[in-house]
Structure 1
Amino acid sequence: MQNERTVSVLNDLLNITNDRIEGFSKVEDKVWETYSPLKADYDQMVSQSQTMKSELMSLIREKGGDADNTTSTAGAIHRAWIDVKNSFSGDKTESTLENVVFGEEAAIDAYQDALDSGDLCPESSRIVSDQLHHLKSSYNKFSNLNEMKN
């Protein structure tokens, strides 16, 4: 029973990580003309997301589960809303990065909820905690956008 709960929580986090990866693909290169100091950090976030995905999928398999390698419904709705919002927005660059920050906040909350749930085994808790640390670090780099403009 514990493994089933652990697999379920890990699959939720995998969906959220896939949401991050999908959301990152929407950030256009022109954003970096205005926010060039963040480009290296952004590239690191993308790379780290792929590593997080691999770690979660390995944990799920180790627990005897099947990885749900999809995105979440909430993430899909959010990305559709971003597309609509950006089609009417005058400053797509700032709006796009604000959405990155919003997505990171949602991921941090989900990871914290997973840790607080008590449904993770010690090994999974350690890896999820490490991933949460990376999420918070990337969030902190992007949370003060106005200070980051060239």
Structure 2
Amino acid sequence: MSTRHDNLIDQLEEILEKNRDAEKGYKKAAENAENPSLKAFFIDKSRDRESFNAELKREMVVNYKEIDDEGSFTGTMHRVWMDVKALFSADNDESMLEEAIRGEKASVEEYAEVLNNSDLPASIATILRQQKMKVQEDLAKVKGMEHFK
């Protein structure tokens, strides 16, 4: 297959991996959060990321037949959610909120980058736009949680 095609697959697999990391990071944050509302928010975000991946994987299999669902990448992209997981284990609601903001901003940027790919199938683009919109809504919610600090 072409390099452009392979790059697109790599980008989509990168989103899957980052969402997996975010799911785990939010789960860890929920375990460490002191505020019950914040704990519930983190649980909800963990479930969202799990759902995002299930939806995207289904459509990727339809379009590409095979995906590397568990593979690791050596690309230049920063592993944002790996840092999130480390900071979430700090047991500090304020640092968890700050890291959630940073992680969500990075997610929005990554979704936008993939959506700029002209080779993206329309069905996958629709899913990515919806997920990006949800992440943007979550980012606004997290920013509105300043009172938890």
Partner of 2:17: 15
Q: TM-score, normalised by structure 2?
A: 0.77
- State the shift of 1:143 in Å: 1.1
Alignment of 1:15-54 (within 5 A): 15-29=17-31, 31-33=33-35, 36-54=36-54
Asked if 1:74 is matched to 2:79, the reply is: yes
1:119 match: secondary structure: coil
- State the shift of 1:39 in Å: 4.0
1:21–1:30 Cα change, 3 Å: closer
1:39–1:93 Cα change, 3 Å: closer
2: CA distance, partners of 1:41 / 1:9: 28
Alignment of 1:92-131 (within 5 A): 92-131=92-131
Is residue 115–residue 128 contact of structure 2 (8 Å, CA) maintained in 1? yes
Q: Deviations over 1:53-72 (max 9, x none)?
A: 10121122221222333576
1: CA distance, partners of 2:88 / 2:50: 23
Q: Which moved more, 1:6-15 or 1:66-75?
A: 66-75
Which ranges of structure 1 fall in alignment gaps of 5 or more residues? none
- State the shift of 1:79 in Å: 4.2
Q: Which moved more, 1:136-145 or 1:62-71?
A: 62-71
Which ranges of structure 2 fall in alignment gaps of 5 or more residues? none
> What one-letter code is carried by the residue in structure 2 that aligns with 1:22?
K
1:129–1:76 Cα change, 3 Å: closer
1:50–1:80 Cα change, 3 Å: closer
RMSD: 2.8
> What one-letter code is carried by the residue in structure 2 that aligns with 1:66?
I
Percent of paired sites with the same residue: 19
Count how many residue pairs are aligned between Structure 1 and Structure 2.
Answer: 142
1:142–1:4 Cα change, 3 Å: same
Q: TM-score, normalised by structure 1?
A: 0.77
1:24–1:117 Cα change, 3 Å: same
Bigger RCO (CA 8 Å, 6+ sep):
1
> What one-letter code is carried by the residue in structure 1 that aligns with 2:17?
N
- State the shift of 1:47 in Å: 1.6
> What one-letter code is carried by the residue in structure 1 that aligns with 2:114?
A
Partner of 1:134: 134
2: CA distance, partners of 1:48 / 1:104: 13
